[in-house]
Amino acid sequence: MASRGGYTVRDLLIFAFYSWRVIVIVGLIPLLIGVAASLTAKKYYTANGLILVLVNREHSGTEGVSDAGPSVLSIDGLKLVQSEAEIIVSDGVLADVVRQMRPEVLYPAVAKRRLFGLLPPADENEWSQRAVERLRDDLKAQVREESSVIGVSFRHVDPQLAAAVTSAVIKAYQERRRKVFDVVRSPLLNEEVRRFADDLQGIDAQIRAVKLKYGAIEIDQDIILAVNQSDVLLQRTRQAQERRAMVIEQVTAARAKLAAEPLRLFDYGEQTNQILNDEDRNLLTKLELELQGLKKLYAPDFPLRAQTEKRIALLKESIREKAKPQYQINREVRNPTLDFMNSRLFELEVESDSLDDQIAELERLSKEAASRVDELREAQFLLHELERTRKVMEDVYHQYALRAEAVKMDEKAAAEQTNNVRVIELPEVPVTGATMAWSFLAAGLFGGILAGIAGGFLANINRQVYLLPSEAERQLGLSALASFMVGAPRPKHRASDEEMGHLSSQILDTLIGDRGLGSLHILPVDRDAADIALLQGLLTECAVQRSLSVLLVDLGDGQGIARALGLRPQTAATRRTADVGHAPLPGFGHVEVAIEPLSSPVFDLRVPLRQAVEGVAALQQAFDLVVIVAPPLSAGHIGRRASAIVDATILMLKAESSRGPAAVWTRDAVLEAGGDILGFIMTGRRFHIPSRIYKWL
């Protein structure tokens, strides 16, 4: 698994010493600029003066001194003193100073040639403006902390001129201040106040005339009352009209019914045979009752009973006699409805006449009320116009009156404004000056350090070659199998032998399933990464130290690596294995080298991959280790085929030479071809850190 740790202090120092030229060159630029600025820096003399501002209630930083008008602002003392400092550095004050001192005397550079003499001098009309801008940079007006004292300072290379300019600034400030506050405006405002007062009186007279003409007291309430009266009259008129219509209908109906009524009506009729004041029947009833009582109490022969029966028989006979004749009576009376209806009809006719008179009077009153409403509305329109005009003029009059009073106070305060400022210290000719030479030198040194660090950082950010194996591990995601310094590996060198032994152990101890690694492909990332000494040491370690039979296959054009290891030209193959001819490599004992391997079917790109794998398997049966060295992938596709038919591939990188993008591309190409990458080997490393520093890391 590749290391994913961060950078150590040693790594950062390696990066720094590797880029020392860039760091030195970039760091020298600010340093040289600072040295040049310190050598050309001038000594400036500063003249100082002090001004005391007296803060009182009559003083303000604007035109107003009270809360009486919208243009009057009340500010606190600190802002007041700050406003005085702003007046000192204003363009008007500075322009007066420049005119008094003359721009070519104050700043001779404005009249000289520009840009190191390459450009002509500026136009004379621009001298004053340029001098004012430079004077604003050199002049300071600062309020002392928690006080009302303003410090005025000016720096210049000439001490006499510095004191003179500071005095001129204070005098120009006092003169400018006097002009600012010397403004008389009260006569104009008083005249406007009188004019608006007369206009208000005229409008009041017009309002009174309109009210008298239309008899109005409070126009809005008068209109409401008139409208209510008109509405009441209208309602009463409608009610009277409705009542009159109803009365007319009742009169018509009454007359129709009256005409249909008869003059006399049948009262009653009677037909009887009874005689008035006849008590026979009553007496008969009494006797019959009495007889019944006697029958119950006495015997039939009782005398009184016989007398009673006789009397009853006589009365019955008398009643029969009287019942024979018949009497009939018919009675008629005057129709009583006629009197009632005539009385009601008379009442309705009287009411109808009175309703006609009432409706006529109500209509007259309604017309008068409507006319009154119209008059009041006209009066309301006139009064609203006059009231609106009066309100506007009252507001204007109020504002002018307040402004007039405020201006009077301003003018009174302005008369004493010059007494609010005291010059408590006049500028004197400075004896000692100040220079920025040391500051420029320190800034150049500090800037050089920062620029050097930034330059080294950018140089390493943009660097595409590897310095350390850890960098390659982070970018490639592969393990670093071994790394060798410049000139290594060397024969009979302890450190080189140990590193080579460790590399060989990692290769030979790798298991492919249940067997050891039998074929290995060593692939340089670029042409400079191919290291003959590394291959020589690897072959020596495997063949001589471990007594393994090794077959070296050089797939490069002309077998340059095999020739560099000792293969003589025109060497013929002594044996053939899997159609690959090979011969012993002089000086390496058990090492055989393939003769013209590109002509063999095993390494022919047109041969199926399966057949090529079978050929490599046959070579693995004949040798303990098959080492294939192919040219970089940028030189041809044979490296891709070799990666696909061997057990593992090892990338070969050279420090400070192999580019990261090329290594990433080679890794991806090998993986896409179906090969397995065991790791990488880095050669050509150098000690960038001096030994005196390295021993402390």
CATH of the domain at 175: 3.30.1890.10
Q: Does residue 357 form part of some domain? A: no
Which residue did the predictor score with more confidence, 695 or 573?
A: 573
Same domain? For 418 and 530 the reply is no
pLDDT tens figures, 226-260: 788 888 888 888 888 888 888 888 888 878 887 77
Give the bridge partners for 625, in sequence order: 550
Q: Range of 71's domain?
A: 9-184+414-437
Is residue 60 very low, low, confident or very high in pLDDT (cuts 50, 70, 90)? Answer: very low
In the chain, the amino acid numbered 498 is: E
Q: How many residues does the chain have?
A: 697
Contact call for residues 601 and 608 (beta carbons, < 8 A): no
pLDDT of residue 278: 61
Same domain? For 422 and 501 the reply is no
pLDDT of residue 3: 43
- Give the lowest-confidence range in 377-381, 534-538, 592-596: 377-381
Same domain? For 649 and 567 the reply is yes
Contact call for residues 400 and 238 (beta carbons, < 8 A): no
Q: Does residue 240 form part of some domain? A: no
**Residue 538, token pair as written in the block:** 């690897």
From the list 535, 528, 557, 551, the residue with the least C-alpha distance to 636 is 557
Same domain? For 425 and 475 the reply is no
Q: Does residue 173 form part of some domain? A: yes
- Give the lowest-confidence range in 70-74, 257-261, 384-388, 611-615: 70-74
Q: Alpha-carbon distance 234 to 228, whole Å?
A: 10
What percent of the chain stands above pLDDT 90?
5
CA atoms within 13 Å, Cβ hemisphere of 128 = 13
pLDDT tens figures, 108-148: 777 776 665 666 776 667 788 888 888 888 888 888 877 78
Same domain? For 42 and 168 the reply is yes
| Alpha-carbon Rg for the chain in angstroms | 69
Q: Check whether 492 has a pLDDT greater than 70.
A: no
- Average pLDDT on 179-202 reads 73
Domain harbouring 674, CATH code: 3.40.50.300
| Helix or strand (DSSP H, E) at 424 | strand 421-425
Q: Does residue 547 form part of some domain? A: yes
Q: Does residue 204 form part of some domain? A: no
- Average pLDDT on 334-338 reads 74
Contact call for residues 680 and 650 (beta carbons, < 8 A): yes
Same domain? For 429 and 479 the reply is no
Same domain? For 418 and 506 the reply is no
Same domain? For 430 and 507 the reply is no
* CB atoms near residue 296 (< 10 Å): 7
Among 271, 298, 323, the domain boundary falls at 323
pLDDT tens figures, 26-56: 888 888 888 888 887 777 888 888 888 776 5
**Residue 306, token pair as written in the block:** 């016989």
Q: Does residue 211 form part of some domain? A: no
Residue with tokens 């209208």: 234
- For residues 339-371, one letter each, b for 16 or more C-beta atoms within 10 angstroms of the residue's C-beta and e for the rest, the string is eebeeebeebeebbeebeebbeebeebbeebee
Q: Alpha-carbon distance 164 to 609, whole Å?
A: 98
Same domain? For 676 and 590 the reply is yes
Q: Does residue 255 form part of some domain? A: no
Contact call for residues 130 and 122 (beta carbons, < 8 A): yes
Q: Check whether 628 has a pLDDT greater than 60.
A: yes
Same domain? For 518 and 655 the reply is yes
Q: What's the total number of domains in the chain?
A: 3
- Give the lowest-confidence range in 568-577, 634-643, 666-675: 568-577
Q: Beta strands of 35-176 (E only): which ranges?
A: 43-53, 139-143, 149-156
DSSP assigned state of 113: P
Q: Does residue 199 form part of some domain? A: no
pLDDT of residue 627: 92
- Give the lowest-confidence range in 256-270, 446-460, 668-682: 256-270
Mean pLDDT computed over every residue of the chain: 79
Same domain? For 431 and 578 the reply is no
| Helix or strand (DSSP H, E) at 327 | strand 327-334
Residue with tokens 């004050």: 93
Which residue did the predictor score with more confidence, 182 or 537?
A: 537
Q: Check whether 680 has a pLDDT greater than 90.
A: yes
Among 391, 422, 437, the domain boundary falls at 437
Among 290, 323, 356, the domain boundary falls at 323
Same domain? For 499 and 430 the reply is no
